[in-house]
Amino acid sequence: MKSHTKHDWIIGFIIVPFLLMCANVLSHNHWDSLNNPEGKFTNVSEYLAQERPPSYITKINKQGTTFFIAYSSMDEVGLALPSGPAAYVFDETGKLIQWSSDIGEDPQFQQQ
């Protein structure tokens, strides 16, 4: 049986975790870029024309105003592991008024 060398330990305890961390960072960047509406859409019609349809849409009334929230699918997550989907809030006219790339880690989005 082969004994582990110092080189094996360096690979196992330093390089592998470093590579996993890099993959996680790249996946987060991809997730954020994929879900960022800037330059892609500003209203519900443009959003629905995208190649990634929402997984579901909810309608809420807040202080007499109707809003629609479209939640993205959790595809293309990779190693990002977001705690929630991206969400886009549209007003009654269909204008995008707010968005979050990860509603699970965006308490400000949840409070509004």
Amino acid 28: pLDDT: 81
3-state secondary structure of 106: coil
Amino acid 76: pLDDT: 64
Residue 71 in domain: yes
Amino acid 27: pLDDT: 81
Residue 64 in domain: yes
C-alpha angle 59/89/62, rounded to 5°?
55
Amino acid 99: pLDDT: 95
3-state secondary structure of 60: strand
Residue 1 in domain: no
Nearest to 37 by CA among 13, 79, 72: 72
Residue 89 in domain: yes
Extract the tokens encoding 93.
């006219």
Residue 78: CATH number of its domain: 3.30.1450
Q: What is the number of structural domains in the chain?
A: 1
- 72: exposed, middle or buried (Cβ count in 10 Å: 0-12, 13-18, 19+): buried
**Structural domain span for residue 26:** 6-111
Task: For residues 99 and 102, give the distance between their C-alpha atoms in angstroms, rounded to a whole number.
Answer: 9
Amino acid 88: pLDDT: 97
List average pLDDT for each run of 10 residues in the chain, which is 112 residues long.
70 84 85 90 95 92 95 75 88 96 84 74
Amino acid 74: pLDDT: 80
Residue 26 in domain: yes
Amino acid 78: pLDDT: 67
Amino acid 13: pLDDT: 82
Residue 53 in domain: yes
